[in-house]
A and B are shown apart, each in its own frame.
Chain A
Amino acid sequence: MAIDRKFLGFALPPFKVTATPERIARFADAIGERNPLYREGIAPPTFLKVLEGEDNSSRRILDALGVPLPRVLHAEQQFDYLAPVRAGDELLVERRVTDLYDKKGGEMEFIVIETSFTGPSGMLVARSRQIVLVRNAPRSQ
C-alpha cells in the first residue's frame, strides 16, 4: 500500500485533556517511577504521550490514513519542553501529519505526526514529534 499524499497536513480536531493526579500516579506506577515529585505534582517527561494519545487519537490518525495496525511500529519520538506539566493542568492538544515519505522503494513508509500542547493562558507548554513506521510487503520484481 502507499499512503495517499493528500493526507499531508491531515489534522485531528483539537481537543482538551486534563493531567489529573490519578492518571499521573497510575502512569508513574506503570513506569516504576518512585520519586514523589513525579507521583504527585509533576508529570513524568513521557506522560505527554498519554495526553496526546487521549481517546485513541493515534489510532484515529492511522485509521484515517488507511494504515493497518499490524504493519505499524513506533520509530522515533521527540519532546520539547517549554514548561513542566503539573497535576490538574488542562491542555489544548493539536495533532497534525507534517510529513509522509518512504524508503526502500516503498517497503518502509514513514508518517510524521507533530503535536502541540497549549496551556489555558495560551502559552505553548510542549511539542511532540512522532515518527510511525509502516512495514509494507517488499514489491515483487
Chain B
Amino acid sequence: MAIDLLNVAVGAVLAARDCPARVKDELAQYAHASGDMNPLHLDEAFARKAGFDNLVVHGMLNMALLGRLLTDHFETDTIRGFSTRFEGVLQVGEPTRVSMTLAGRTGEHAEIGLEMLTHEGRRIVSGHAKVRLRIS
C-alpha cells in the first residue's frame, strides 16, 4: 500500500502494528537464520549471568520489524537509509507496538521516524529512515 509522502502532513502516523510477545523458539529461529548465536538470546543461564531476568530479544530482530513497516509501504530502491538506537532491552514475554511517522521532508527525501514501545510505554527502539520522494 503506497503512502503519498509528498502530501501527507508532517507528524502524521503512517503505519503501526502490534507485535505479540516473543517466545524462545522465535529467538532460536532468528539466531539460526541470522548467524547471531550470542547465548544472551538462547540460554537463560547466560542471560542471568549478563544481568537479565530472561532471554533478551535480538536488537536486530526488533529492527527487522521496523524494517517491515518500511518495506510494507515503500519500494526497495526508495529506501536509502535506515538507522536505529536500541534504547531498552526487550525480553521474551513482552508484547510491543511498532509505528512510523513522517518526521519531515528535505529536498528529495522524506525523513521517517520509527519506534518500538512496550505496552507500558517503555521505549525499546527508536529509529529513522530516509526515503526518496517520488517526484513525477
Which residues of chain A have a CB within 8 Å of any CB of chain B?
23, 26-27, 29-33, 35, 37-38, 42, 44-46, 49-50, 53-54, 56, 58-59, 69-81, 83-84, 129, 135
Contacts and interface: CB of A to CB of B under 8 A. Distances in A.
Contact of A42 (B35, B59, B72, B76): B76
A35 B67 CA distance: 12
A103 to B, nearest CB: 14
B8 interface: no
Nearest to A52: B35
B12 interface: no
A32 B30 CA distance: 10
A56 B49 CA distance: 22
Interface in B72-105: 72, 76-77, 79-86, 89
A108 B79 CA distance: 33
A20 B33 CA distance: 12
Contacts of B37: 56
Contact of A77 (B33, B38, B63): B63
Contacts of B86: 73-77
Given A70-B46, A74-B60, 10 more contacts: A26-B32, A26-B33, A31-B64, A33-B64, A33-B71, A58-B36, A70-B40, A70-B50, A74-B86, A84-B77
